[in-house]
Amino acid sequence: MSEPSFAPRPTLEAVAARAGVSRATASRVVNGGEGVRAPLVERVRRAVDELGYVPNQAARTLVTRRNDAIAVVVAEPETRFFSDPFFAQQVRGISRELTAHDNQLVLLLTEGAADYARVGRYLAGGHVDGALIFSLHADDSLPVLARRAGVPTVIGGRPGWSDGETLYVDCDNRGGAREAVHHLLGLGRRRVAHIAGPLDQTASVDRLDGFRDVLPETDPQLIAEGDFTPEGGARAMAELLERCPDLDAVFAASDVMASGALRVLRQRGRRVPEDVAVVGFDDIVSVADWTDPPLTTIRQDIEEMGRLMAHLLLRALEPPAQGAPGVPALSSIVTPTRLVVRGSA
């Protein structure tokens, strides 16, 4: 297991020889067997089995220019990537779609901007046919890298710029936020606070904008910035309580932050939802369903968004539609959200 294997892997040549056919025919069989007579197919198949032949990908890629592999690049410190269920769900969606189309998912981790050069080389080196990029912060250079590498890309979440050309998949953050606030107001709450995500990410900005759409006159003291971690949510909640002890509702920009906020509210003796109603965002079941009380939240279908990202990318990789006029160009996707009412509001 530990030794480099010394027996060189068999080549197509060897398979062809053993089956008594030309390399071209062997290749045809290996790639599906279209247009090869049955008995030959059979012989080649047997030779493949007997020799344990597996095509050399480097050689194949060199001529086909396809890898059947897609990179997923996460612009986030590993720690958060691994601890935030959001990513896990999105990756699962991506993984499903990619696997269904026989593409390999290659996860590229970055421990910070220092790794970008390496990622850039990897992308430019032609290891993958496309890239999926997550969780961009303002001015992140990853998409530029990908573009420079000539790698088609789809971004998770609306990017900070808009060139009408960049493909992305996002949920209706702004609309969802509005719904959250409307729900709280419908409950008769009048001092609604907001725990925002990091404002260098569009998702946070969009949710804040939705909040402001409904409550344009909100006291700035009722808004605190978190960082999409439980601790950040807790910290923001503590700040808010200090600044506005009379608040009676909180809309947190993520379930994870909401869970931190709930902890602080409990510590301070505020009852939820009686004293303070709380609404989250995401509907990450493993979080929202386990808090005490269970979290009312705005649901976005994260796994589906992952699947859509992969789907969009795969379509972008297809040869440009020809002969079929009126095939719509590919465009970004914004998925709907909906309110899920549990115990916290």
Partner DNA sequence: GTGAAAGCGCTAACAA
Partner DNA sequence: TTGTTAGCGCTTTCAC
Determine, following the binding rule CB under 7 A, whether residue 64 of this chain makes contact with DNA.
Answer: yes
8 Å CB contact between 90 and 156: yes
Cα–Cα nearest to 80, from 201, 166, 237, 167: 201
8 Å CB contact between 127 and 67: yes
- Residue 233: how many other CB atoms lie within 10 Å: 30
Q: Which two tokens stand for residue 144?
A: 């530029």
Count residues contacting DNA (CB under 7 A)?
A: 25
Determine, following the binding rule CB under 7 A, whether residue 148 of this chain makes contact with DNA.
Answer: no
One residue of 22, 79, 141, 221 binding DNA per CB under 7 A? 22
Nearer to a second copy, 78 or 219 (CB): 78
Determine, following the binding rule CB under 7 A, whether residue 205 of this chain makes contact with DNA.
Answer: no
Q: Give the residues lining the site for a second copy (CB under 8 A).
A: 1-5, 7, 9, 52, 54-59, 61-62, 69, 78-79, 81-83, 85, 87-88, 91-92, 95-96, 99, 102, 104-109, 111, 115, 118, 121-122, 124-127, 143, 146-155, 163, 165-167, 286, 316-317, 330
Nearer to DNA, 120 or 210 (CB): 120
Nearer to a second copy, 246 or 318 (CB): 318
Cα–Cα nearest to 144, from 129, 155, 158: 155
The nearest distance, CB 324 to DNA, in angstroms, is: 20
The nearest distance, CB 16 to DNA, in angstroms, is: 7
Determine, following the binding rule CB under 7 A, whether residue 150 of this chain makes contact with DNA.
Answer: no
The nearest distance, CB 13 to a second copy, in angstroms, is: 14
Cα–Cα nearest to 300, from 154, 170, 135: 170
Nearer to DNA, 152 or 273 (CB): 152
Which one of DNA, a second copy, none interacts with residue 169, CB within 5 to 8 A by kind? none
Task: Choose the stretch contacting DNA; rule: CB under 7 A; options: 25-33, 236-244, 280-288, 317-325.
Answer: 25-33
Which one of DNA, a second copy, none interacts with residue 30, CB within 5 to 8 A by kind? DNA
Map residue 335 onto helix, strand or coil.
Answer: strand
One residue of 4, 5, 8, 318 binding DNA per CB under 7 A? 8
- Using CA atoms, how far apart are residues 314 and 333, in angstroms rounded to an integer? 14
Cα–Cα nearest to 314, from 306, 322, 323, 302: 306
DSSP notation for 192-245 = EEEEE--TTSHHHHHHHHHHHHH-TT--GGGEEE--SSHHHHHHHHHHHHHH-T
Cα–Cα nearest to 158, from 148, 169, 147: 169
Tell me whether residue 191 is exposed, middle or buried, using C-beta atoms within 10 angstroms of its C-beta: 0 to 12, 13 to 18, 19 or more.
Answer: middle
One residue of 46, 49, 50, 59 binding DNA per CB under 7 A? 59
Which one of DNA, a second copy, none interacts with residue 105, CB within 5 to 8 A by kind? a second copy
Nearer to a second copy, 79 or 221 (CB): 79
Which one of a second copy, DNA, none interacts with residue 273, CB within 5 to 8 A by kind? none
8 Å CB contact between 259 and 84: no
Which one of a second copy, DNA, none interacts with residue 118, CB within 5 to 8 A by kind? a second copy
The nearest distance, CB 18 to DNA, in angstroms, is: 12
Nearer to DNA, 21 or 252 (CB): 21
Map residue 330 onto helix, strand or coil.
Answer: coil
Nearer to DNA, 47 or 240 (CB): 47
- Cα 96 to the center of its chain, rounded Å: 12
Q: Which positions ≥6 away from 35 have C-beta within 8 Å?
A: 28
Binding interface with DNA (CB under 7 A): 8, 11-13, 21-25, 27-28, 30-31, 35-37, 40, 53, 55-56, 59-60, 62-64
